[in-house]
C-alpha cells in the first residue's frame, strides 16, 4: 500500500496513480522553477503592496503549494482512494489554520500570512463555487492520518524545512511534524475565515490570494497531467 494524491478509476480512467509526496513536491518545483519569473513577480508585488516581508510571502506561496493536498492523507480517503478525494481542500485548509493559528500574532503581518497561505488552498479548485458550503458540510474534527502516509508526509515536511525562508515557516513545519506522532491533525474553522467567505466587503488582500491561487491551480493541473500520464 502507498499514499496517494490520485488513484484512477479503473473503469473510465486510463491514467496511472500518483503518490502524495511526489505530487506535492513536484507542484512546488514547478511553481519555483518552471514558473520562476512569474512566481517571483507575484511574491515581490504582494510583499510591496501589502507591506509583508518577502520571506513571509515566499513561504505562504511555497507552503500553499506543498500542503494543498494535506487533507488527502486522511484515512477515509486513503482506504478507498478510487472513490475520489472530494472536499480534501477543506480539510487541508482548516488543518493548516489550526496549526498556524496558535503560532502567529493575530494583529500583524503574520495574521495576513495565514490568509495568504490557506485561502489559495481552499480556492485552488475553481469549480468549488461555494467554499463555505463545503466547509460546513464537513462533519469531521480532525484528519486521521493514514499510517502509510507518514513517511511521505515526513518527506514533504523535510523538503519544506529546507526551502522555507522565515522562522514562522519553520515553526509551522515543525508543528506539523509533531502532529504526526499522534496520527491526527485537528481542523479549525476560525471566525476570520468564516467572515472572509461570507462577507461582501472587499478585502485589500483578496487579489493577492487569487494571484497565489492562480499559480497553485496552474502548477497543480500541469503536474497532475504530467505525472498521471501513462506514456
173: in domain: yes
- Contact by Cβ (8 Å): 187, 91: yes
118: in domain: yes
150: in domain: yes
Burial 32-44 (b: 16+ CB within 10 A, else e): beebeeebeebbe
- Contact by Cβ (8 Å): 95, 87: no
We report the CATH number of the domain holding residue 99 as 1.10.3210
Does pLDDT of 136 surpass 70?
Answer: no
Per-residue pLDDT band for 24 (boundaries 50, 70, 90) equals: very high
Q: Which residue has the cell 481552499?
A: 122
Q: Distance between CA 65 and CA 210 in Å, rounded? A: 14
Q: Is the pTM of this model over 0.75?
A: yes
pLDDT-wise least confident of 21-35, 43-57, 89-103:
89-103
49: in domain: yes
Per-residue pLDDT band for 127 (boundaries 50, 70, 90) equals: very low
169: left (phi over 0), alpha (psi -120 to 50) or beta: alpha
- Mean pLDDT of the region 170-188: 90
7: in domain: no
Q: Distance between CA 4 and CA 11 in Å, rounded? A: 18
Does pLDDT of 25 surpass 80?
Answer: yes
- Over the chain, what is the mean pLDDT? 89
Of the ranges 53-67, 71-85, 181-195, the best mean pLDDT one: 53-67
199: in domain: yes
Per the DSSP assignment, residues forming a β-bridge with 143 are 185
Domain count, the chain: 1
3: in domain: no
Does pLDDT of 85 surpass 90?
Answer: no
Domain membership of residue 172 as a residue range:
16-221
pLDDT-wise least confident of 6-15, 141-150, 188-197, 204-213:
188-197
9: in domain: no
**More confidently predicted of 189 and 170:** 170
Amino acid at each position: 500500500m502507498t499514499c496517494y494524491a490520485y488513484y484512477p478509476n479503473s473503469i473510465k480512467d486510463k491514467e496511472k496513480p500518483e503518490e502524495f509526496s511526489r505530487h506535492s513536491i513536484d507542484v512546488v518545483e514547478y511553481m519555483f522553477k518552471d514558473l520562476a519569473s512569474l512566481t517571483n513577480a507575484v511574491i515581490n508585488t504582494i510583499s510591496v503592496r501589502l507591506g509583508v516581508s518577502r520571506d513571509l510571502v515566499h513561504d505562504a506561496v511555497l507552503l500553499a503549494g506543498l500542503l494543498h493536498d494535506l487533507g488527502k492523507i486522511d484515512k477515509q480517503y486513503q482506504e478507498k482512494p478510487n472513490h475520489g478525494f472530494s472536499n480534501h481542500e477543506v480539510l487541508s485548509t482548516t488543518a493548516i489554520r489550526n496549526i498556524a493559528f496558535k503560532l502567529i500574532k493575530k494583529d500583524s503581518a503574520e495574521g495576513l500570512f495565514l490568509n495568504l497561505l490557506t485561502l489559495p488552498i481552499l480556492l485552488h479548485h475553481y469549480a468549488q463555487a461555494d467554499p463555505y458550503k463545503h466547509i460546513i458540510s464537513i462533519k469531521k474534527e480532525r484528519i486521521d492520518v493514514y499510517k502509510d502516509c507518514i513517511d511521505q508526509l515526513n518527506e514533504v515536511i523535510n523538503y519544506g524545512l529546507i526551502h522555507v525562508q522565515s522562522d514562522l515557516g519553520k515553526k509551522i513545519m515543525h508543528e506539523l511534524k509533531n502532529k504526526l506522532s499522534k496520527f491526527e491533525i485537528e481542523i479549525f474553522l476560525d471566525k476570520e475565515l468564516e467572515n472572509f467567505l461570507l462577507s461582501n466587503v472587499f478585502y485589500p488582500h483578496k487579489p493577492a490570494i487569487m494571484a497565489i491561487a492562480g499559480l497553485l491551480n496552474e502548477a497543480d493541473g500541469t503536474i497532475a497531467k504530467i505525472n498521471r500520464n501513462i506514456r
